[in-house]
Amino acid sequence: MPNTIHLQQRCHLLGLPAEIQLAIYELAVVGDSALLLNCACDSSYPGHKDEWQTDQQAWKCGAKHPPHQPSLTRTCRSIRDLALPIFYRENVFHAHYCFTSAFDLALDWLKAIDAHNRRILRHLYLFDGNPALDGNFPQDFKGASRTLAKMNGRTETVLMEKYCYHRVSFWHLPIVAYDGLEGLFA
């Protein structure tokens, strides 16, 4: 039986001051553009129907999907406890709501991240590129709002001139202490 040498490597990242760790985590888990929870509606592709159909097929077959939790947050519990709240709090997430079947994908993602992480979300929007969507199809927004309300979500219309933009919040509910990190959520 060969001798096995177990090398235990120290994580130098965890040895850094907390402020530097948080800055690194923010750089690692926050993107420059909105993260899509489902396929955009056809009205977001004016004059580009082929591109929309290609994207729609990519979402259906799983080539495109809602964002996964960043790999960094899966390295160890200490990093996860600090980086995951930054991921949910600082990124912008868009859920398109013009087709019930596409919206179901966004709902599945919201259910999967659990109530605690939903409360951390600060920039979740129901979004459509057609500012007339809510006027032409009011049932789409009303249905999405009712479904989100069942998850304790609130919707607030923030822009209707150029796009349909509705902010979704779950943070009106109190956040319970999370491993002693309650100060990070303020």
Query: Once rounded to an integer, what is the mean pLDDT over residues 51-72?
Result: 93
**Closest Cα to residue 126, out of 116, 117, 111, 146?**
146
Query: Once rounded to an integer, what is the mean pLDDT over residues 123-138?
Result: 91
What's the CA gap between 51 and 165, in Å, rounded?
A: 22
Q: What is the pTM of this model?
A: 0.84
What's the CA gap between 173 and 123, in Å, rounded?
A: 16
**pLDDT in the model for residue 182:** 42
Which amino acid, residue 88? Y
pLDDT surpasses 50 at 179: no
User: How far apart, in Å, are the Cα atoms of 69 and each of 28, 72, 153?
Assistant: 12, 8, 21
> pLDDT tier at 79 (50, 70, 90 boundaries)?
very high
Query: Once rounded to an integer, what is the mean pLDDT over residues 41-65?
Result: 88
What's the CA gap between 141 and 167, in Å, rounded?
A: 12
**Closest Cα to residue 138, out of 167, 166, 107?**
166
> pLDDT tier at 178 (50, 70, 90 boundaries)?
very low
